[in-house]
Amino acid sequence: MRLHSVSIKRFVFRLTPPAIRAMMPERCIGVYILFRNDTPIYVGRSDHCLRRRLSTHNHLQEATHVAWEFTPTVQQAYVLEAHLFHQHRDHLINKIHPALPEGSSISCPFCVRNTKQALARAFNRVA
């Protein structure tokens, strides 16, 4: 998988439980970013049901908007979450590095200093 061929589109929605339930199917895994206005404040993932995770999130009162992306595998969700965490960590409430998926042996490719090398490692491992 080549990075330049990847097209990622995210939409940002008001963070309300009814909106999440209306727009998001059940039992999809993926990654989300919570925003306060236009500032990312929390990056997370769900390895089981993104809809349930967001509908009952403990930072609902602090966030105004949410963006999410479904992923086909838990490992891809972890890599995307780690990327977003490293990209926005100066603004985030969650200061602890994302946890590895249960039973996974992959490591964070973005803890490598060189971003191009980190991206290559991430996509070679996950693809």
Query: What single string gives the DSSP state of each residue in 52-77?
Result: HHHHT-TTTTT-SEEEEEE-SSHHHH
Rounded-to-integer distance, Cα 79 and Cα 75, Å:
6
- The predicted-structure confidence for 29-60, as pLDDT tens digits, reads as follows 999 999 998 899 999 999 999 999 998 888 88
Superfamily name with CATH number, domain 12-126: GIY-YIG endonuclease (3.40.1440.10)
Domain ranges of the chain: 12-126
pLDDT at 85 (0 to 100): 96
pLDDT at 82 (0 to 100): 95
- The predicted-structure confidence for 62-101, as pLDDT tens digits, reads as follows 999 999 999 999 999 999 999 999 999 998 999 999 999 9
CA 12 from centroid of its chain's CA atoms: 13
Neighbours of 120 (CB within 10 A): 15
